[in-house]
Copies of this chain bind each other. A is one copy, B any other.
Amino acid sequence: MPTISQRGQHVPMSPFRKLVPFADQAKAAGKHVYHLNIGQPDIATPASALEKVRTDQSEILAYSPAVGNLSYRQKLVGYYQGFGVSLTPDELIVTTGASEAIQLALLACLDEGDEVIVPEPFYANYNGFAQIGNIKIQPITCQIETGFALPKIEAFEACINPRTKGIFITNPNNPTGCFYAEEDLRALGQLAIKHDLYLFVDEVYREFCYDGNAFFSSLLIDGAEDHVVVFDSISKRYSACGARIGTLATRNTAVLETVTRYAKLRLSPPGLGQILAEATLDMEPEYMQEVQAAYDLRRRVVYERLQAMPGVVSYLPGGAFYCFARFPVQSAEHFCKWLLESFEYKGATVMLSPGEGFYATPGLGVDEVRIAYVLNANDLNAAMDCLEQALQVYEGATHKAQALSAG
């Protein structure tokens, strides 16, 4: 029997999908599972955009251009203008989700053995994209106590070595929900210019900034035009994860040319998804305002409920729809499995993502989880009821052990 490749044997597993079999068993056993493990919103995809797909009269579903339909890229120019960013259609490449944009940019910009600095915890699939290109992720650790604020610029600079080709951040951050301010981004941009590095910025949660914080796109950093490569997607902002439509945006013409060559290999991005994506750009601003208000409420529910749970450490996230929490447990992974396998409260349980898989540094995040607040406030409260109960009865809960030994 022919063997699997060495790299194939070591593809990093998604921490937000590896517990799926346990969730399936829980459902088969009749439990309701509140999914806070994956960024799949319960918000409706804009009906008017879906309607565009339904009324499209094309007779042949043909290949689109490898870089995406020109009509869509032209309309995207107007979208970015709304964030103060001036781009031409040629500076945008439509991809199969942000996932593909990231993968192609890494291949285009980094050779095998090259390094990219990524603040941890980070979106775990970056590990897999890096592995495909045999690229090393150099983590720089953020702390839950500061809400995972970016380390000082000196700490970034200390990570740079001759193999470093870029810095890669997610703003607002998945999995931490941290919002990065303009001055942080400008400082990173200056560091990228100083050391001739790429600044890769995953901006798929751009619309989700709270507390009156104004989003600042890295495409606005003066002098960093050849350094900044932005990844984008309609998945989150229009609850259209299944469309698989992302974008790569940069003013670096060599990156655009190289990513285009890679894009031609796979012929074209999804055609039906592009119809939907183009239609989302006609949405009235009220749609997004309502969605933002819904997430803002959810974020407060999660924060307040977590604050009330003994031994739990968390914070009010400034963006996206995630937060991290430290639980009073030895192993968050064991706890998350136990929630699905052995626990229920009022016929339900909760699925969370163990935190360890979001760190590259071994040993970090073992008592942490990522929570995606993608459910409505009622369901979220019910999920938090479950979690509160679970932490009270879980055998491995360290705060109970401490209380017992203290008693």
Residues in chain A within 8 A of chain B (CB atoms):
1-2, 4-9, 11, 13-14, 17, 38, 40-45, 47, 50, 53-56, 58-64, 66, 96-97, 99-100, 103, 107-112, 114, 125, 128-129, 132, 134, 165-166, 192, 196-198, 226-227, 239-244, 252, 254-255, 258, 261-262, 264-273, 276
CA distance A384 to B78 in the complex (A): 44
CA distance A123 to B244 in the complex (A): 26
CA distance A44 to B243 in the complex (A): 23
User: Does B107 contact A132, Cβ atoms closer than 8 Å?
Assistant: yes
Q: For A134, A267, A269, which residue has the most chain B Cβ atoms within 10 angstroms?
A: A267
Contacts A/B (CB < 8 Å), 20 sampled:
A5-B258, A7-B111, A7-B112, A8-B108, A42-B60, A44-B60, A45-B61, A50-B59, A53-B272, A54-B54, A61-B241, A96-B96, A100-B266, A112-B134, A125-B265, A128-B261, A132-B265, A244-B268, A244-B271, A270-B270
User: Does B2 contact A266, Cβ atoms closer than 8 Å?
Assistant: no
Residues of B within 8 A of A96 (CB): 96, 244, 266, 270
Residue of B nearest to A274 (CB): B242
User: Does A266 contact B5, Cβ atoms closer than 8 Å?
Assistant: no
Q: For A2, A244, A266, which residue has the most chain B Cβ atoms within 10 angstroms?
A: A2
User: Does B254 contact A268, Cβ atoms closer than 8 Å?
Assistant: no
User: Does B62 contact A40, Cβ atoms closer than 8 Å?
Assistant: yes
What's the nearest-Cβ distance from chain B to residue A197, in Å? Answer: 6
CA distance A345 to B123 in the complex (A): 56
Residues of B within 8 A of A128 (CB): 261-262, 265
Residue of B nearest to A110 (CB): B5
What's the nearest-Cβ distance from chain B to residue A202, in Å? Answer: 14
CA distance A286 to B241 in the complex (A): 35
User: Does A61 contact B243, Cβ atoms closer than 8 Å?
Assistant: yes
Residues of B within 8 A of A40 (CB): 62-63
Residues of B within 8 A of A262 (CB): 8, 11, 128, 132
User: Does B11 contact A261, Cβ atoms closer than 8 Å?
Assistant: yes
User: Does A61 contact B5, Cβ atoms closer than 8 Å?
Assistant: no
User: Does B64 contact A242, Cβ atoms closer than 8 Å?
Assistant: yes
User: Does B258 contact A243, Cβ atoms closer than 8 Å?
Assistant: no
Residue of B nearest to A243 (CB): B61
Given contacts A166-B2, A241-B268, A272-B272, contact A258 B100 (CB under 8 A): no
